Chains A and B, each alone.
Chain A
Amino acid sequence: DAMVIQNPRYQVTQFGKPVTLSCSQTLNHNVMYWYQQKSSQAPKLLFHYYDKDFNNEADTPDNFQSRRPNTSFCFLDIRSPGLGDAAMYLCATSRDPGGWGGGYTFGSGTRLTVV
């Protein structure tokens, strides 16, 4: 089945130690998104790639970076995680920007804990 896969499912990292979360998709969608969701809050868009074009949200901290080496994979790098970065990180894909034609397909998420 075509899907969006995030690894790992759970990640524990030390305060200040760089961490990378990964996302892969077999849907051949053009757009890949990274959202941060804290408990009882709305998912917050960090950035997205439309093909190779990177689009950063204005309020995304510089501590968060992303890479998309090819259509299938996208990575979220947190250079120096702080306690406030503990959250669920959601990867999503869509055929077109903004989810026209049916919205986003989400991966299962990565729960990040910072100790």
Chain B
Amino acid sequence: QKEVEQNSGPLSVPEGAIASLNCTYSDRGSQSFFWYRQYSGKSPELIMFIYSNGDKEDGRFTAQLNKASQYVSLLIRDSQPSDSATYLCAVKYGNKLVFGAGTILRVKS
């Protein structure tokens, strides 16, 4: 059973702070990792993907991958109220993506 685990939250941060979201996965052979944002009642939208160990930055978002420890994280700098959503971690297993249940992020203004 391929698993992707996330803390359900909610994670509450003040506006302007850094939000840190974490995800662990069960298959050491996984190669591709994705972060999706999902607003309530909406479909997921891709924020970032990462394949290599280390950090990948895109604007206010940074994805971090540590394959030895089997975790991937997402940092959101200068958090805004509009960032309030559920963040889904997804891991590629074979020919499909397996999703975690998501972490609820709440940014307080």
| 0 or 1 for each of A98-115: is its CB under 8 Å from B? (1 = yes) | 111011111111010000
Closest to B47 in A: A103
The listed residue (A42, A45, A88, A98) touching B88 by CB distance below 8 A is A42
Known interface pairs A42-B101, A108-B43. Does A102 touch B49 (Cβ–Cβ under 8 Å)? Answer: yes
Asked if A103 and B90 sit within 8 Å, CB to CB, the answer is yes
| 0 or 1 for each of B34-69: is its CB under 8 Å from A? (1 = yes) | 101000011111100100000000000000000000
Judged by a CB distance under 8 angstroms, whether A75 is at the interface is no
Asked if B101 and A41 sit within 8 Å, CB to CB, the answer is yes
Asked if B34 and A99 sit within 8 Å, CB to CB, the answer is yes
The listed residue (B42, B93, B97, B102) touching A104 by CB distance below 8 A is B97
Asked if B97 and A98 sit within 8 Å, CB to CB, the answer is yes
Closest to A47 in B: B96
Place the interface of chain B in its size category: 20 to 34
Judged by a CB distance under 8 angstroms, whether B87 is at the interface is no
Asked if B8 and A99 sit within 8 Å, CB to CB, the answer is no
Q: How far is the CA of A40 from the CA of B96 in the complex (A)?
A: 21
**A98: which B residues are within 8 A, CB to CB?**
32, 92-97
Asked if B99 and A42 sit within 8 Å, CB to CB, the answer is yes
Known interface pairs A42-B102, A48-B96. Does A99 touch B32 (Cβ–Cβ under 8 Å)? Answer: yes
Judged by a CB distance under 8 angstroms, whether A90 is at the interface is yes
A: residues with CB less than 8 A from B are 33, 35, 40-43, 45, 48, 50, 55, 88, 90, 97-100, 102-109, 111
